[in-house]
Amino acid sequence: MAEVEKLVLNKRYMDFMDFFNLDGSAKMKLTRDAAIATCEYASEIGFFVWRIEGGVWHNPGFEARVDSIWDGGFDPGLSALIENNERAVSFLKEEPVEIDAFIVTTTVV
């Protein structure tokens, strides 16, 4: 019997599909590229990005930064989903380079 992969909380993930395969919402640390791809893919499959928390990765360990938080809109309807998730991607792209780990919180619409 194959072993099921489990989410490791003290790890920074580089593959955005791990977010979806391991139920990483609100607890998985992602690289910037993985977080961007997560938000883009979330739009394709009907996930609404509620919040992004940025921080510094210490390998291992996540240092949250209160000056690196993005909150999405309050209308998780399908009409607002794409625009909201595009704003999330813009936030991720604009964060300083030293902010190199992100926690993404999503929900299914």
pLDDT for the residue numbered 79: 78
Q: With pLDDT > 70 as the criterion, what percentage of the chain qualifies?
A: 97
> For residues 31 and 14, is the Cβ–Cβ distance under 8 A?
yes
CA 13, 81, 41, 64: dihedral to nearest 10 degrees?
Answer: -10
User: What's the predicted TM-score (pTM) here?
Assistant: 0.94
30-108 CATH pick, 3.40.50.720, 3.20.20.220, 3.30.190.30, 1.10.3210.10: 3.30.190.30
For the chain, what are the domain ranges?
30-108
The model's pLDDT over 24-75, given as tens digits with 9 standing for 90+, comes to 999 999 999 999 999 999 999 999 999 999 999 999 999 999 999 999 988 7
